[in-house]
Amino acid sequence: MVSDSCSVVEASRCIPVSDSVDVLVAGMGPAGIAAAIAAAREGARTLVLERYGYPGGMITGSHVVAVLGVGDGRKPRARGITMDVRERLERFNAVTGVTASGDYRVDAEVFKWQALEMLDECGARFLLHTMACDPIVEGHRVAGVFIENKNGRSAVRSQVAIDCTADADLAFRAGCLCADRTHDVSLVIQINGVDNGAFQAFEKEFPDRCRSIMETARAQNGGVMPGAQRYFRNVDITDAKALTRVEREARRDCFRSLYFLRENMPGWADARVSHTGSQLGVRQSRRVRGVYTVTDEDLRSSRHFRDSVARLSSYLNGYKLYDPEGLDYDIPYRCLVPEEMDGLLVAGRCVSSDYLACNSLRLIVPCFATGQAAGVAAALAVRRKVPPRGLEISELQDSLIGQNVYLGDETNGGMGAGADAAPNGHPAWDDDGPDPDVPGDA
């Protein structure tokens, strides 16, 4: 090993191949879970990797337990794995708050348990506490992934890999072009032990004094009371130093404000932090440049595509869901296919879209949908011995319908008025439109 003051040359070494699979999924958030289940249901030998000790991504790590985007603001639309998850969790009384649009909330701990059971039942294998570090790139094709865990470094060979890391980590390291623009970042912090009766009595008797204490507490915690949602902005979540800063600042400021309130605010003497999220709540980061880039206008105009792999209706305007209501747009398969790299698909919030479209596609239901589509596509590509971009779209759509995916009322075959026949396009890949930054809780 040779080094100087600026760099170290790592000695070359042979990396053992620890596994060989048809479909390798990196990341076990909603998109990764859906991709692995879908691929395994199509008969592919499937392995899904997760860096944490539990599945679920933002659902379980950041307590984003609202499964949003099922309907159009009036009635349910999405099916497939979105409904499979609901039906499974309902067996354990782990679904609450079902809305007219079909959106629902899940018990995060039950979800951790049952996601693994669903994967196991369909034949997908999984490996927790394992980092998908770098893609194995051979020419212009991803042929597997280098992984690291307590066993050391090894390689997993694959026919098709699916990047469900949320941040396009594999695609980026494989050389795929990506856009990367920041959005709000937050950390769930739960406060218990407040005596609301004592607090409300003080607020009623001494409103000015109460207001002054609360203003000071908010000033110490980024403008919000401890336990309230605080948004950090301009955070590059692909930078470990930036992530470290937010993790520290969120907890430090919360505790500083909390201890001030314990000393000065009646009712807060026994208040405490009962829980903080194990992951930061991240809304956007890298987006891969695909064969087609979904635009905000595609969603708002209810555009249909010949290569549709999902028909959805949700739209997140800032943080306001189903605004407008009644949309009816398609997700084209091409946005899951990187522009140049073969052997690789992407799913989840890192699919090819512009910044404003991603604000809607990052919701859990679109992540389920793109994950399921990528999983089926990967399995079919292996079966047909073709690269993912060479798939027959009609076969992919038939298989998705077979997995109860909704592709539209007209034929449930992906076609409709205004269907697009263009083979590719990315007219607004790195859109510079206004930020979707209205405060909220999505």
Q: Comparing C-alpha atoms, which of 282, 286, 425 is closest to residue 346?
A: 286
Q: Is residue 241 domain-resident?
A: yes
Q: Final residue of a domain: which of 230, 258, 282?
A: 282
Predicted confidence at residue 169, as pLDDT, reads 97
- 415 pLDDT more than 60: no
- 117 pLDDT more than 60: yes
- 434 pLDDT more than 80: no
Predicted confidence at residue 414, as pLDDT, reads 39
Q: Final residue of a domain: which of 267, 282, 297?
A: 282
More reliable by pLDDT, 52 or 413: 52
pLDDT in tens, 245-276: 999 999 999 999 999 999 999 999 999 999 99
The total domain count for the chain is 2
Residues 408 and 410: their CA atoms lie apart, in Å, by: 6
Predicted confidence at residue 10, as pLDDT, reads 86
Predicted confidence at residue 1, as pLDDT, reads 56
More reliable by pLDDT, 412 or 41: 41
**CATH number of the structural domain spanning residue 161:** 3.50.50.60
DSSP string, 297-342: HHHHTT--BTTEEEEE---EETTEETSS----EEEEGGGGSBSS-B
Could you tell me the two tokens for 260?
């001030």
Residues 247 and 241: their CA atoms lie apart, in Å, by: 10
Question: Residues 122-148: what's their mean pLDDT?
Answer: 97
Same domain, 234 and 353: no
Q: What are phi and psi of 189, to 5 degrees?
A: -135, 120
Same domain, 54 and 85: yes
pLDDT in tens, 301-312: 999 999 999 999
Facing residues of 105 across strands? 66, 96
Could you tell me the two tokens for 375?
């999983």
Same domain, 138 and 200: no
Radius of gyration of the chain (CA): 23
The DSSP H or E segment spanning 246 is helix 240-264
More reliable by pLDDT, 253 or 7: 253
Q: Is residue 254 domain-resident?
A: yes
Could you tell me the two tokens for 128?
């927790």
C-beta atoms surrounding 264 within 10 Å: 15
Work out the mean pLDDT of the chain and round it to a whole number: 92
Q: Distance of CA 104 to CAs 5, 323, 327, Å?
A: 54, 18, 19
Residues 417 and 304: their CA atoms lie apart, in Å, by: 7
- 416 pLDDT more than 90: no
Same domain, 136 and 20: yes
Torsion of CA 36, 39, 41, 47, to 10 degrees: -50
Same domain, 270 and 332: no
Q: How confident is the model at residue 379 (pLDDT cuts 50, 70, 90)?
A: very high
C-beta atoms surrounding 436 within 10 Å: 22
Same domain, 263 and 339: no
Q: Domain range spanning residue 93? A: 15-182+285-442
Same domain, 441 and 366: yes
Q: Is residue 2 domain-resident?
A: no
Q: Is residue 87 domain-resident?
A: yes
Residue pair 289/176 in contact (Cβ under 8 Å)? The answer is yes
Same domain, 325 and 278: no
Tell me if the pTM is above 0.85.
yes
Predicted confidence at residue 131, as pLDDT, reads 97
Share above pLDDT 90 across residues of the chain, in percent, rounded to a whole number: 89
Residues 6+ apart with CB under 8 A from 338: 171, 174, 176, 288, 289, 290, 291, 344, 345, 346, 352
Q: Is residue 6 domain-resident?
A: no
Query: Which amino acid, residue 433?
Result: G
- 36 pLDDT more than 90: yes
Predicted confidence at residue 3, as pLDDT, reads 65
Predicted confidence at residue 176, as pLDDT, reads 97
pLDDT in tens, 311-368: 999 999 999 999 999 999 999 999 999 999 999 999 999 999 999 999 999 999 999 9
pLDDT in tens, 356-378: 999 999 999 999 999 999 999 99
Q: Is residue 327 domain-resident?
A: yes
Same domain, 143 and 115: yes
C-beta atoms surrounding 385 within 10 Å: 8
Same domain, 234 and 319: no
Q: Final residue of a domain: which of 263, 282, 301?
A: 282
Q: Is residue 72 domain-resident?
A: yes
Question: Residues 209-221: what's their mean pLDDT?
Answer: 98
Q: Is residue 301 domain-resident?
A: yes
Same domain, 334 and 393: yes
Same domain, 164 and 313: yes
- 432 pLDDT more than 80: no
pLDDT in tens, 62-108: 999 999 999 999 999 999 999 999 999 999 999 999 999 999 999 99
- Angle (deg, nearest 10), helices 240-264 and 207-219: 160
- 193 pLDDT more than 60: yes
- 424 pLDDT more than 70: no
Q: How confident is the model at residue 6 (pLDDT cuts 50, 70, 90)?
A: confident
